[in-house]
Amino acid sequence: MAKYNVTLIPGDGVGQEITEAAKLVIQATGVKIEWEEVVAGSTAFQKYGELLPKSVLDSIRRNKVALKGPITTPIGTGFRSVNVSLRKELDLYASVRPTQTWQGLDGRFRDVDIVVFRENTEDLYAGVEYVQGSNEAKKIIEMSAGKIRENSAISIKPISAFCTERIVDAAFKYAKLNGRKLVTATTKANIMKCTDGLFYETARKVAFKYPEIDYNEKLIDNMCMQLVQYPEEYDVIVLPNLYGDIISDLCAGIVGGLGMAPGANIGEIGAVFEPVHGSAPDIQGQDKVNPVAMILSAALMLDYLGENTAGDKVRKAVAEVIKEGKSITADIGGIAGTQEMASVIAAKL
């Protein structure tokens, strides 16, 4: 049996608890993983004085695969998001976030099965910003011919044909390989005609190469409304960075919350798998956090490693435990703790 070297980043807050839960479930599949543990985020800052040590990037480049818990980035302190930095440094251009309804969870919706493809490296998340009163901001204000008020802070939104083409192509390839029927591109191109207009223009060219897959377009505000009214009508959604971040959380909300939302960040040289939710320091160490998002992220990692049978078994075990409803966490209507839920899922395997 193959053995895989995988970088493990436990993260901050509840990260340690849910990474241990995911490791327990992966062990139960029988897939052999050699974990190389490194730290990033506030844990790394306390230890090394930096949020993203070079050793983390070196480890991921060496192993090509990482499983990562949520990371805390200090807000409003000048520190750049560790998650954004990881994606930029490793060119993890495709954020893939599947969403589905689960039998046993109460909710308005049935038969939701959406996969969001979010471009991960540019848009407003590129971090090209200028503070109020800076020389750069003043020059941009002057060039705007009165369209921007004096003393504004400025953020620049780059959208390239290159990055758009590869994320849209990734969405169509996924649809083709997984029997999906529809890809929906989503922007605000009626207002941002140059940037979002380029996204649509490029997406249409890619869609032309996949005639067997239906393609349509929705404006982001309408898409939000559609997803809370008729989410079962959507299949694969592809978006620029900021819209993708928002829509993926919205999708999570209609199927049980962020505790049910796994994620993958994939590039040409490797991939990082992580839950969509944050580090939740307010419940750290209380055995309360839902481990499913992390466990399902680990299942996506198994798929990436070619262990699709093991990944499917994990998803089936999660589905059985949720359907039974006896050992689920409070956020989805139960009373079980983190480790109990993970142990029961592992036992199903």
Q: Of 224, 228, 230, 266, which Cα lies nearest the Cα of 245?
A: 224
Q: Is 215 a known active-site residue?
A: no
Q: Is 245 a known active-site residue?
A: yes
For residue 243, the SS3 value is: helix
Task: List the catalytic residue out of 23, 68, 188, 313.
Answer: 188
Q: Is 188 a known active-site residue?
A: yes
**For residue 83, which amino acid is it?**
N
Q: Is 12 a known active-site residue?
A: no
Q: Of 328, 324, 325, which Cα lies nearest the Cα of 339?
A: 328
User: Tell me, what DSSP letter sits at residue 79?
Assistant: P
Task: List the catalytic residue out of 181, 221, 230, 316.
Answer: 221
The CB density around residue 97, as the number of other CB atoms within 10 Å, is 25
Angle between helices 338-348 and 292-304 (to 10 degrees): 40
Task: List the catalytic residue out of 12, 123, 169, 245.
Answer: 245
Contact by Cβ (8 Å): 15, 70: yes
* Residue 73 token pair: 């980035």
Task: List the catalytic residue out of 93, 125, 130, 243.
Answer: 125
Contact by Cβ (8 Å): 236, 115: yes
Residue with tokens 């930096």: 50
Catalytically active residues, by annotation: 125, 188, 221, 245
